[in-house]
Amino acid sequence: MINETMYERGAESSVIREIFSYACARKAEIGADKVFDFSLGNPSVPAPAAVRESIERSLAEVPSMALHGYTPAPGLPEARAAVAASLNRRFGTSYEAGNLFMTVGAAASVSCALHALVSPGEEVIVIVPYFPEYRVWIENADAACVEVAADPETFQLPVDAIRAAITERTAAIIIDSPNNPTGVVYPRETLGALAAMLEEVNRGRQEPVYLISDEPYREITYGAEIPWVPSVYEHTVVCYSYSKSLSLPGERVGWVLVPDTMGSSDRVMAAVAGAARALGFVCAPALFQRVVIDCVDEPSDVEAYRRNRDLLCRALSEAGYTYVEPDGAFYLWVRALEEDAGAFCERARTYELLPVPSDSFGVPGWIRIGYCVAPEVIEASLPAWRALAKEYGVRA
Ligand code: PLP
């Protein structure tokens, strides 16, 4: 019998992907340069040259069986050791290969972490607005997604509201900083306040409330410090991918880190392995695990995103839009010019502008503009953004 829940998830699809599909069809119809697709977080910055060099070296030097064969379920020991060494250099930690499980991107990392840490019937807190797939992944772990609104002014972590939402069924909280969709970064002191609150809560519990720190945008920051979350709160599992940092979203490679410092870390890591096995996420792509070994410390081209951010922010501000100033990631969270963000996006579509309405992120009235596009796309879209604002009678 067809599984109705899965049918519904597949039939609904994601709003972001629907807009992306529309953009592809529209580009074929009227020309790619006339459509301004701000939907997906698909980096336009090319992968670093070191990625290609690594692939070419592997193709030339690694025998086929090792190159294309199964790796151990948690990944190549050398890849996990390379990631551990890189983290140790950057954050003064002492991780080893055994603290890491290579996965198929951050989607798999978060799914594995959820299945490992959350039992059916428990609750997972997300901070609104949130990456829409969190709800799908949480519900797929038979848990309830509990929404807590971010601070309405700053979009920062709402520590008191999180405290108020915690029940005895709360198993975990997902955070992502730099944040998709707002671009805010959670500073050390806010994370510290969250940690202090959770430590207090944990005193009355058998098992701690876990923090799942989803960090695909860790490297994409415009100067703000991105604290290493396990050093602030010990019960943290980190989920990472190279989709954004190395512009490799199609290659599906990332990892889950379970620090030794967290209680029952051996059991948690075994549960991550079990989740990866149950979900079919074992043996991340072998070729790209080798790329990780070679490119683990490759910097991201943040300047390209900074230029896009500055260009877009300046122009939208001049046109009368209001938005959250992003400190990281590559999304701009902009107030829609009418209450119904869906209707606003429909109107924007008549100018070939394709942002994402905020409703699937858990709030009405905003749009997300993904500015990881080529700078020419932003440049060419500016007259349309201005005309759209004018149509709503917004004064520049
Ligand atoms: N988490 C967040 C916050 C994201 O924005 C994304 C992708 O855009 C993912 C997870 C999934 O990343 P990946 O493509 O590495 O699976």
Q: 93 with 260: CB under 8 angstroms?
A: no
Q: Coil, strand, or helix at residue 272?
A: helix
Q: Is the pLDDT of residue 13 over 80?
A: no
Confidence bin at 349 (pLDDT 50/70/90): very high
* pLDDT (0 to 100) of residue 204: 87
pLDDT digits (tens, 9 = 90+) for 29-87: 999 999 999 999 999 999 999 999 999 999 999 999 999 999 999 999 999 999 999 99
- How wide is the angle at C-alpha 264 spanned by C-alphas 158 and 174, nearest 5°? 25
Q: Is the pLDDT of residue 161 over 90?
A: yes
For the Cβ of 208 lying below 6 angstroms from any atom of ligand 1, the answer is: no
Give the ligand 1 atom nearest the CA of 104: 16
* pLDDT (0 to 100) of residue 83: 98
Cα of 60 vs centre of ligand 1, distance in Å, is 31
For the Cβ of 37 lying below 6 angstroms from any atom of ligand 1, the answer is: no
Cα of 394 vs centre of ligand 1, distance in Å, is 34
pLDDT digits (tens, 9 = 90+) for 174-216: 999 999 999 999 999 999 999 999 999 999 899 999 999 999 9
For the Cβ of 39 lying below 6 angstroms from any atom of ligand 1, the answer is: no
pLDDT digits (tens, 9 = 90+) for 210-245: 999 999 999 999 999 999 999 999 999 999 999 999
Give the ligand 1 atom nearest the CA of 242: 15
pLDDT digits (tens, 9 = 90+) for 235-285: 999 999 999 999 999 999 999 999 998 879 999 999 999 999 999 999 999
For the Cβ of 254 lying below 6 angstroms from any atom of ligand 1, the answer is: yes
Among 19, 103, 133, which residue has the most ligand 1 atoms within 8 Å of its CB, making it the best to mutate?
Answer: 133
Q: 354 with 19: CB under 8 angstroms?
A: yes
Cα of 358 vs centre of ligand 1, distance in Å, is 17
Q: Which long-range contacts (CB under 8 A, 24 or more apart) does 301-309 make?
A: 301/45, 301/48, 302/219, 302/220, 302/221, 302/222, 304/44, 304/45, 304/375, 305/45, 305/220, 305/222, 305/330, 305/371, 305/372, 306/222, 307/375, 308/371, 308/372, 308/373, 308/375, 308/378, 309/222, 309/371
pTM over 0.85: yes
For the Cβ of 243 lying below 6 angstroms from any atom of ligand 1, the answer is: yes
Enter the tokens of residue 166.
Answer: 């915690």
For the Cβ of 175 lying below 6 angstroms from any atom of ligand 1, the answer is: no
Q: Is the pLDDT of residue 168 over 90?
A: yes
pLDDT digits (tens, 9 = 90+) for 272-326: 999 999 999 999 999 999 999 999 999 999 999 999 999 999 999 999 999 999 9
Q: Name the residue with the closest Cα to ligand 1, atom 5.
A: 180
Give the ligand 1 atom nearest the CA of 107: 16
Cα of 216 vs centre of ligand 1, distance in Å, is 6
For the Cβ of 233 lying below 6 angstroms from any atom of ligand 1, the answer is: no
Cα of 66 vs centre of ligand 1, distance in Å, is 28
DSSP H or E segment with residue 102: strand 100-103
Nearest by Cα to 248 from 83, 71, 42? 42
Cα of 181 vs centre of ligand 1, distance in Å, is 11
For the Cβ of 241 lying below 6 angstroms from any atom of ligand 1, the answer is: yes
Q: Is the pLDDT of residue 387 over 80?
A: yes
Cα of 152 vs centre of ligand 1, distance in Å, is 24
For the Cβ of 334 lying below 6 angstroms from any atom of ligand 1, the answer is: no
- Say if residue 376 is exposed, middle or buried (CB neighbours under 10 Å; 0-12, 13-18, 19+): exposed
For the Cβ of 183 lying below 6 angstroms from any atom of ligand 1, the answer is: no
Cα of 100 vs centre of ligand 1, distance in Å, is 18
Share of the chain above pLDDT 70, in %: 100
For the Cβ of 251 lying below 6 angstroms from any atom of ligand 1, the answer is: no
* pLDDT (0 to 100) of residue 14: 83
